[in-house]
């Protein structure tokens, strides 16, 4: 009976990735960004600026609160309670997008900001369950299963959303995403364990912040670790911005319609999966630093290519970007793991996540401001190339631990 419960908890945890992938694919990446810019914002240029600022604001709030929430997740009781609160709050905000047209640009954007904050914030508690539902020796494969089924959830959500767009319109899409998220997150919200905490919520939150500051200080006293975190900050920022603005770029600059955007994103998903597997062997053979340098060089080239890309060429650019996306994720995590002391995995990967979240602020502001000043999303794409190049240059002198 105990083994059955353990397996059910494992499946429930994995299916939470499946559930929230509907939000990541449809709301954050493909359909809602284009809908906002085309149908809610006063103009395309204004929509770009507002969208960039909204993403930056929501991610800044997540970054500032995640150390406190991480402390609560690790040390206080109520992991599952907070996961429920964040998840259900996100689903309510997603459902509220049904009223985004009468609410207008500001109201719709506010709902998106809140949804993004709660979805990203929920991951702090979700990730903290991994040591409770899997053996340490199985962390990699269980995490990989969640990652893989998340891609499946994205593909299914995008396909169903496309059918709703054809038949019912945007409001049906937002409602579908909310129902999908709720339905497949229920097993996790019910079956995951609720361990007792070792301290109160306030004490745990303060401890979480102090722990993050301490790890940052330690990191910046180590030359190579500091170089990695700085490099990661800039190239992760560029990647997040490319993901958030790629559908807007394809729609506004290249004239892609919603159906083509969904197909394009599905192609990127498949390419990213292939890239994760494709570069796993070279990362072990050549070392993750060399693979990551190659990825950042390709990313810089992709941004240069975007400056003059045609609609037909963008399909090929998407394939290259997808492959290098999966490769970058895999190689950067592998390189970071070399700096992690034995027995301190949770704290160091918490720092890794904190840097990743704080890095989601600069890029959207830079992209949207460039569009506002120049009126060109192609020039804004070049600004992302500058961030990739900066990340590459910071990584060059790094000497990773053996």
Domain boundary assignment for the chain: 1-219, 222-402
Four-residue CA torsion sign, 382, 386, 391, 395: positive
Can you give the pLDDT at residue 281?
Answer: 60
CATH dotted code for 1-219: 1.20.1250.20
pLDDT in tens, 146-174: 666 877 888 889 889 888 888 878 999 99
pLDDT in tens, 29-88: 888 998 998 889 988 878 888 988 888 888 888 888 877 777 777 777 777 888 999 999
- Give dist(CA 185, CA 2) in Å, integer: 22
pLDDT at 341 exceeding the cut of 80: no
Four-residue CA torsion sign, 263, 264, 270, 273: negative
Domains 1-219 and 222-402 share a fold: yes
Q: Over pLDDT 70: what percentage of the chain?
A: 89
Q: How confident is the model at residue 283 (pLDDT cuts 50, 70, 90)?
A: low
Closest CA to 76 of 205, 192, 193: 205
C-beta pairs of 57-60 under 8 Å, 24+ apart in sequence: 57/113, 58/112, 58/113, 58/114, 58/116, 58/117, 58/120, 59/116, 59/120, 59/240, 59/357, 59/358, 59/360, 59/361, 59/364, 60/358, 60/361
pLDDT at 1 exceeding the cut of 60: no
pLDDT at 27 exceeding the cut of 90: yes
- Give dist(CA 373, CA 118) in Å, integer: 32
pLDDT in tens, 176-204: 999 999 999 999 999 988 777 777 777 87
pTM: 0.81
C-beta separation of 103 from 113 below 8 A: no
Can you give the pLDDT at residue 313?
Answer: 93
Which is more confidently placed, 175 or 348? 175
Whole-number mean pLDDT of the chain? 84
Degrees to nearest 5, angle at CA 107 with 103 and 109: 130
pLDDT at 280 exceeding the cut of 60: no
Give Cα separations from 147 to 18, 22, 141, 236 (angstroms): 9, 13, 10, 18
- Give dist(CA 234, CA 371) in Å, integer: 20
CATH dotted code for 222-402: 1.20.1250.20
């Amino acid at each position: 009976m105990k083994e059955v419960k353990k397996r059910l908890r494992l499946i429930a945890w994995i299916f939470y990735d499946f559930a929230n992938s509907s939000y990541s694919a449809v709301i954050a990446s493909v359909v809602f960004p284009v809908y906002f810019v085309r149908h809610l914002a006063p103009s395309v240029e204004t929509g770009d600026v507002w969208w960039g600022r909204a993403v930056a604001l929501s991610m800044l709030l997540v970054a500032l609160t995640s150390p406190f929430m991480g402390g609560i997740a690790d040390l206080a009781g109520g992991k599952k309670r907070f996961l429920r609160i964040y998840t259900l709050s996100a689903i309510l905000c997603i459902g509220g997008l049904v009223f985004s047209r009468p609410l207008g640009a500001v109201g719709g954007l506010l709902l998106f900001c809140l949804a993004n904050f709660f979805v990203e914030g929920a991951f702090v508690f979700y990730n903290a369950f991994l040591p409770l539902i899997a053996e340490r020796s199985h962390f990699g494969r269980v995490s990989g299963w969640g990652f893989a089924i998340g891609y499946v959830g994205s593909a299914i959500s995008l396909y169903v959303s496309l059918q709703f767009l054809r038949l019912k319109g945007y409001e049906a899409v937002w409602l579908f995403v909310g129902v999908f998220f709720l339905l497949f997150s229920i097993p996790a919200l019910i079956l995951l364990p609720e361990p007792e905490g070792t301290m109160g919520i306030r004490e745990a939150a303060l401890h979480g912040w102090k722990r993050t500051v301490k790890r940052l200080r330690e990191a910046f006293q180590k030359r190579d670790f500091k170089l990695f975190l700085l490099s990661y900050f800039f190239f992760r920022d560029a990647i997040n911005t490319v993901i958030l603005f790629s559908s807007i770029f394809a729609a506004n600059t290249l004239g892609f319609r919603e159906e083509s955007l969904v197909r394009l994103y599905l192609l990127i998903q498949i390419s990213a999966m292939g890239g994760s597997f494709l570069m796993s062997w070279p990362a072990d053979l050549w070392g993750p630093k060399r693979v990551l340098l190659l990825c950042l060089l390709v990313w810089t080239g992709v941004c240069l290519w975007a400056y003059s890309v045609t609609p037909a060429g963008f399909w090929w650019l998407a394939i290259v970007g997808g492959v290098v996306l999966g490769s970058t994720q895999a190689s950067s995590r592998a390189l970071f793991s070399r700096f992690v002391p034995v027995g301190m995995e949770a704290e160091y990967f918490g720092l890794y996540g904190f840097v990743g979240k704080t890095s989601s602020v600069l890029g959207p502001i830079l992209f949207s401001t460039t569009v506002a000043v120049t009126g060109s999303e192609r020039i804004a794409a070049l600004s992302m190339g500058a961030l990739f190049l900066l990340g590459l240059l910071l990584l060059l002198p790094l000497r990773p631990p053996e």
